[in-house]
Chains A and B, each alone.
Chain A
Amino acid sequence: MTFYSPVVTNAKEIAGHEKLHLFEYVEDEKQYQLKRYLEHGGYAAWKTVLGKMKPEEVIEEVKKSGLRGRGGAGFPTGMKWSFVPKDSPKVRYLLCNADESEPGTCKDRVLMERDPHVVIEGMAIGAYAIGCHLMFCYIRGEFHHSIERIEKAMEEAYSKGHLGKNIYGSGYDLEMIVHTGAGAYMCGEETGLINSIEGEKGMARIRPPFPAIEGLWECPTIVNNVESLAAVPHIINRGADWYRSMGTEKSAGTKLFSLSGHINRPGNYEVELGFSLQKLIYDANYGNGISDGKKLKAVIPGGVSTPFLTPDKVDVPLDYESLTEAGSMLGSGGVIVLHEDTCIVWTILKLIKFFRHESCGKCTPCREGTGWLEQIIQKIEDGRGGPDDLEKLDSICGNILGRTICPLGDAAVMPIQSTLKHWRDEWQYHIEHKKCLVNQNFGF
């Protein structure tokens, strides 16, 4: 195989499935080329949209489909598009968020490398829906292969008239720019991303004004995740009702999950929303169980920004509502599995190091708090913890949660809080015995 990033997928299953669509051609080595993409019906939706649909109709269709943002927050995509002021004389921008940096999540990358045209087609349709004539694809800087594939695809699309001036004779012009990141997690946060494109440091902006009203260069701007946009051509081709027929009532459609950690078959899997987490972890077609036959200790269901689930909560449908009910979040779909030998303190130390390093430094609680948390947790991990440290952690987390500009602050503390709640004994043990409760003998 000539794939850049070999990864296990459930493509075989999808091939025989009438509905799963994002990964339909993910194992097709040539799908990244325009020719093959067209053979598989590529750009048909874009043609339909330009030829037959008004922007409002596109928005309406996507609204009806129930598609929700796959970047983490799960905000309804069509509704977001409808927030762009109709009467604004300003230009509008569509930004495809391809900064995928959430540890545990690596699905956008597979889409971009193996099916780049669907991303571009989705962007184009979104751009048209909001009246945008210049769209950006902001790709994580380390994703060399994604950048290469998207750029190549963009050139092909331009050369064959799928982008550029007067597309398909419709009179609609659409230009595209590929913008690469420089290694900051924060540039995936939508306002950080906007700042980054403007040439500023990737720091969050306070909302309101929301980007849809005042974003890039103070113009109405829509930021959408790669996966959200990739679903759009399918919705146009097959209709909102078809999309709605998948998933649950409030979480329509399919979603890509990146499964990693102590799992026998890590990989990227497309499933309908509402799919059982239990099944995703244990079914032979997916995770195929915990590695080394160990017992499950915890699952982080939606990337490292989401609270840990205890094993008794694993029998949960993977949809936005159910996970919230279970005390966590669907997030970006990065499912990380931890087995019984994992030390919770050690794990949390890894996470807080990440968040401290990635805090943009704009707002006080996150900037100062993450560093403080790391130092306390490091102290506990090193066996120097004190009796009041857990209370201090509770208090500091409480002073960050809900008090910051962007959700990174929350993301940094929610996992900690969940472990302080469910595994407090283990934290306590670490402080009292100056070592791990479990016999951890692996490293990442």
Chain B
Amino acid sequence: MAEAVKEKILAVATITCTIDGQQITVPKGTSVFYAARQIGIVIPAFCNHDKLKPVGACRMCYVEIEKMPKLQVSCATTATDGMVVSTNSQQVREGRKAVIEFTLINHPLDCPTCDKGGECDLQDLTFSHGYDDSRFGFNKMRFIEEEKRDTFDDLKIGPEIVLNRNRCILCYKCVRANKEAFGEYDIGAFERGDLTEINATPGGEVSNPFSGNLVEICPVGALTNSDWRYKIRVWLTKTVPSICNFSGSGTNITFYKEDHKNFVYRVTARCNDAIDDGWLSDITRYGYQIVNSESRLKTPLIKKGGKQVKASWDQALAVIKKHMGEIKDQSGGVCIGGLISPSLDNASLYSFSKLFRTIFKSNNIDFRGDYRYLPSVTDSPFTIAASQPFSIADIEKSDVIITFGTDLIREHHNEYLKIRRAVNFFEATAYSVNPYAVKTADIAKSEMVYSPGTDELVINGICLAAIEKKLVDSSAAAKLKPKISKLSLSELTKQTGLGKEQFKELAEAISSAKKITFIVGEIVARSLERDKICAALSNLNKLFGVQDKGQLAVLSRYANSKGAQKLGLSATPYEIVKAELKKIWGEYPDCQPRNTDSMINLMKKEEIKGFITVGTNPMRLYPDRGFASEGLEHVDFLVACDMFETETTELADVVLPLCSWAEYDGDYINLEGKVQTGKQAIKPKYEAKAAFEIMELIASQSGVKLFENEQSRNEEIEQLLSLNSVLPWPDDFLEIDYDKKSSRDDYPVPLFICDDPHHSGHLTEKSPSLLNFSDSAYVELSKGMAAKIGVADGEPVRVESPVGKIVVPAKISRVLNSDVAIIPRNFSSTQTTSLLMRKKRVDSVKLTRVEE
């Protein structure tokens, strides 16, 4: 079925029609509107949107079609063989004029005070297609807001969005995008006829994680946001193409900047069909505000008498030279370690690696500061799974999509939307398999919620069900069965909480898929047992031949995680990368590899004495705050580079102000392995420098240059990127051992620390707009869970783990339906990671109501 639909849309059969005298052949199913566009004829339109279903509401896109007496709307008329279309006949022009006239009769024409002025479809199309005068002699209909001081009849309908109903031309794009693309229902149309109004759903506000798009697609100034409105006129800004820095997808964006003020005014989409379809998450849209933040670190700081004081770059570098030099001379470079953010560009990551490995001769580096206990081996099943190829565009070409161990709306907004599109527009069937209920499930055929910590058992269950139902090759089945059948299917159902039917359903879906997308997410990547789970996935992949008919990968999470993998930014890079580095540098430190976890351990043992963090904040992000802080406090000499003061910079001996990604040209590799460039929008703010510059400066203190010049640096990077970095899966099926679940009676509720849907990592709390959506931690609970502990929405809850305790308000979830707790990690005001233990598979907590 899905195939049939896809054929219709993705070509194969074609038709030939004539538009304005030109013949054109287009795929069957193409609308006249898009057929015309293919020969460069742009038909004016208000309500049509490339990524939404046509509604034919505005009537602006009229064309005349031979043999049809009435004007037809081209957006909703399918081109057919032999059709003869005129897009600019007398009748068409008059029809359009009439539509513009109707549209304007109740439009306020307040262009001088309207923020959309200069980029308004109505303005533009009135100029090009309308009348110069008006025949309407009556008072315009007007919605008047109660707030009398509001000169412009503005109505705030969400944390960011301001609505002016008078300007609305009722194209319904906002309502449609919300429903069709985002699966959200917080904006709607109400009343009838010319009283029709767009508004937030009664009693609610427009606050979904994609709400910013509604402002962007509004053709007029009816929806504006407080981010941009009344700050500057669009024609005074310049645009710069860039890439989102808050997600792994590499969403394409445009910066709007003004040079005199050296200020970024907004971010809009830069539609790239292969990645983002032109939709941005609010994080992507409003996250840029951190660039302009007044609280940026402005100068280097050095610690004097226990206090950090302002210093010049020279002073700071001198201190670094002195202390790092001493450590290196007295204890050796292996006593220096470093942690870098995977959101930084290739040049920065590579310079960091080269600084450590060639100058300090240390191999103690990592980019995974928020993953607990990572063993130091180079080709573990997890590493393999994370290196697998993935194509975002292939999601919508798949007929079966399985999301496993991922809460997409908190991890991968872009892929979340792609899956929705695949289901809503291309009839894909989705399955959500996660240890707690997730929002993605509303479009899934089935949602399977399994017991936390039984991830690999779920995978085994799917394999066993397939074997039992003879859905897979029998010789493969015979080989795999002994390795995983220590637990029978019925035992697995007991452990995982899933039914046999569910295992069977998944097995059938995978085996019957023509093209499959199997997404593995952060629940797996962050798990202590990530290798075991990925071993099970390796078996599954082999058993079903998943990759032979689609894709299976652990998606990389941050803007340049893939770059960090490919450039060898962990202590245990791929062998092929290590070999290449040796070749380029003529050397490679020959010491024990130390990943984040073991580095922190060594700090405690005072074997790591000097440490550099770049753009990351292990104190907040490492999933065991007690452990991280004990380590970092032991370090003799800590250098922290960041855009802001953080829990980590507070401990540092030297703090260096870091540039944002808007302040220099940088290359980033998205989760598909696609290299994209984010162009510099503004000059570095204050005295901030890019990380690659800082690395070069630190190197220069030893009298060495990391690179001859930019070009040689880029060549070295190129060389590494040209390597094939997809690791092969093991040849054989892997044995999955089974350990009994430990009981957790004292701390009965599984805890998941993740991102708030409006935040990412530790930086976005500096974006005022994002804070308007969500500004402090909470514990998200199902209705049932809240009832059990007797709290209502917003009431304080004490959350206790064996190692920590916090008090946060309860947030009753609309999605969760089991006894789990979810707490965001994005707010400095709550030490959420203090609840976590690095060697625990499933963190769990005790929840109690706080008595007043």
Residues of A bordering B, CB below 8 Å = 89, 184, 186, 201, 203, 205-206, 208, 356-365, 367-372, 375, 392, 399, 402-405
Contacts and interface: CB of A to CB of B under 8 A. Distances in A.
A355 to B, nearest CB: 9
A337 B59 CA distance: 36
Contacts of B576: none
A361 B189 contact: yes
Contacts of A392: 135
Nearest to A185: B192
A368 B57 contact: no
B226 to A, nearest CB: 28
Nearest to A402: B70
A352 to B, nearest CB: 11
Interface in B33-91: 54-60, 62, 69-71, 73, 76, 78
Nearest to B169: A364
Contacts of A365: 59, 98-99, 102
A371 B136 contact: no
Nearest to A355: B193
Contacts of A357: 192-193
B839 to A, nearest CB: 49
B57 A405 contact: yes
Interface string B178-205: 0000000000111111111000000000
Contact of B57 (A358, A363, A371, A403): A363
Of the listed residues B57, B60, B136, the one surrounded by the most CB atoms of chain A closer than 10 A to its CB is B57
B721 interface: no
B102 A361 contact: no
Contact of B59 (A89, A358, A361, A403): A403
B106 interface: yes
B196 A403 contact: no
Contacts of A360: 192-193, 196
A370 B194 contact: yes
B678 to A, nearest CB: 40
Nearest to B194: A371
B141 A371 contact: yes
Contacts of A368: 102-103, 105-106, 194
B95 interface: yes
A370 B136 CA distance: 13
B471 to A, nearest CB: 21
Contact of B76 (A206, A364, A367): A206
A208 B72 CA distance: 12
Given A364-B58, A403-B59, A370 B99 contact: no
A370 B169 CA distance: 16
28 contacts: A201-B188, A201-B189, A206-B56, A206-B76, A359-B194, A361-B191, A361-B193, A361-B195, A362-B172, A364-B99, A364-B103, A367-B102, A367-B196, A368-B194, A370-B193, A370-B194, A372-B102, A372-B105, A372-B136, A375-B138, A399-B101, A399-B102, A402-B70, A402-B71, A403-B59, A403-B70, A403-B71, A403-B95
Most buried by B among A206, A356, A362, A368: A368
Contacts of B191: 361
B170 interface: yes
A411 to B, nearest CB: 14
Given A89-B1, A206-B54, A206-B76, A363 B59 contact: yes
A208 B194 CA distance: 25
B76 A359 contact: no
Contacts of B54: 206
Contacts of B194: 356, 359, 361, 367-368, 370-371
B80 to A, nearest CB: 11
Closest 9 CB pairs of A and B: A361-B196, A399-B98, A359-B193, A368-B102, A206-B56, A402-B70, A371-B194, A206-B76, A375-B138
B193 A367 contact: yes
A410 to B, nearest CB: 10
B59 A364 contact: yes
Contacts of B106: 368, 371
Contacts of B193: 356-361, 367, 370-371
Contacts of B195: 361
A246 B101 CA distance: 49
B122 to A, nearest CB: 12
Contact of B192 (A359, A375, A399, A402): A359
Interface of B: 1, 54-60, 62, 69-71, 73, 76, 78, 95, 98-99, 101-103, 105-106, 135-136, 138, 141, 169-170, 172, 188-196
Contact of A405 (B56, B95, B190): B56
Given A201-B190, A368-B102, A392-B135, A363 B56 contact: yes
A362 B57 CA distance: 6
Contacts of A201: 188-190
A371 B136 CA distance: 11
A398 to B, nearest CB: 8
Contacts of B169: 364
A308 B106 CA distance: 30
Most B CB atoms within 10 A — which of A89, A184, A361?
A361
A294 to B, nearest CB: 35
A375 B191 CA distance: 20
A403 B60 CA distance: 10
A155 B630 CA distance: 72
A361 B192 contact: yes
Given A359-B193, A363-B57, A399-B101, 9 more contacts: A186-B192, A203-B189, A206-B54, A360-B192, A360-B196, A362-B57, A364-B99, A364-B102, A370-B193
A193 to B, nearest CB: 15
B432 to A, nearest CB: 21
B300 to A, nearest CB: 58
A206 B1 CA distance: 23
Nearest to A199: B185
A165 B777 CA distance: 52
A405 B72 CA distance: 10
A362 to B, nearest CB: 5
A168 to B, nearest CB: 33
B604 to A, nearest CB: 59
A201 B170 CA distance: 14
Contacts of A186: 192
Contacts of B170: 361-362, 364, 367
A173 B714 CA distance: 70
A356 B192 CA distance: 9
Nearest to A375: B138
A368 B193 CA distance: 8
Contacts of B189: 201, 203, 361
Nearest to A370: B193
A217 to B, nearest CB: 13
Nearest to B73: A206
A369 B194 CA distance: 9
Contacts of A356: 193-194
A403 B189 CA distance: 22
**Which of A205, A363, A405 counts the most chain B CB atoms within 10 A?**
A363
Contacts of A363: 56-59
A404 B95 CA distance: 12
With most chain B CB atoms within 10 A of its CB, the pick from A359, A372, A392 is A372
B103 A362 contact: no
Nearest to B196: A361
Given A206-B55, A375-B138, A358 B192 contact: yes
B191 to A, nearest CB: 7
A206 B59 CA distance: 11
A372 B136 CA distance: 8
Contacts of A403: 59, 62, 70-71, 95, 98
Nearest to B188: A201
Nearest to A208: B78
Nearest to B424: A218
Interface centre among B60, B70, B98 (most CB of A within 10 A): B98
Nearest to B62: A403
A362 B136 CA distance: 21
A196 B101 CA distance: 30
Nearest to A362: B57
